[in-house]
Amino acid sequence: MTGPERGVPGDDRPAGTAADGQGLPSTGGPPPRRSGLRNPERAVRGLGAGTLSLEALVLVLAIQPIRVVGGDLGGAAIGAVVALAVAAVLLAGLMRRPWAWHAGTALQGLLMLAGLLHWSLLVLGVVFALVWAYALHVRRVILG
């Protein structure tokens, strides 16, 4: 048939829908994806990697303004910020591993703990912990 498929006369359902009236395809194939994404795992990994990459960039770029405005940012605090930024970049590259999500959560805790060295690191830690919590929420919604 070259035209649109026609249902049984008297049946007002669109062609290709199930007889149960739920609008599911009657082909018997796999059910449609919930998220509508072609590759939901890849999209979620990209979200996690992007979040960690942005965090690393903000951490490195925040060193000088914190020193100028905050004043007492010592060598230990600068070392901690650089170490956390490097860890975030490494974790961004390892998002294919399932444990990287747990390590990213631990990284947010370490950044908040770095708030003991300078109050602005606590603020950054809280902000990025909220962003990370949202990324985890999106991951749970998309992947189930």
Give the tens place of pLDDT for each residue, 37-88: 788 999 999 999 999 999 999 999 998 888 887 667 778 888 999 999 999 9
What are the tens digits of pLDDT across the range 5-24? Answer: 555 555 554 555 454 555 55
Would residue 21 count as lying in a domain?
Answer: no
- Higher per-residue pLDDT: 120 or 132: 132
Task: Reply yes or no on whether the pLDDT at 103 is more than 60.
Answer: yes
In which domain, by residue range, is 70 found?
A: 40-143
Instruction: Please give the full DSSP string across 5-36, using - where no structure is assigned.
Output: ----TT--SPTTB-TTSS--BTT--PPPPSS-
2, part of any domain: no
How many domains, in total, are found in the chain?
A: 1
At residue 117, the pLDDT reads 87
In a domain, residue 35? The reply is no
Q: What is the pLDDT of residue 105?
A: 97
What lies within 8 Å, CB to CB, of 18 at 6+ separation is 24, 25, 26
Nearest in space to 48 (alpha carbons), one of 116, 105, 118, 10: 105
CA distance 3 to 15: 12
Q: Is residue 16 part of a domain?
A: no
Residue 9 in any domain: the answer is: no
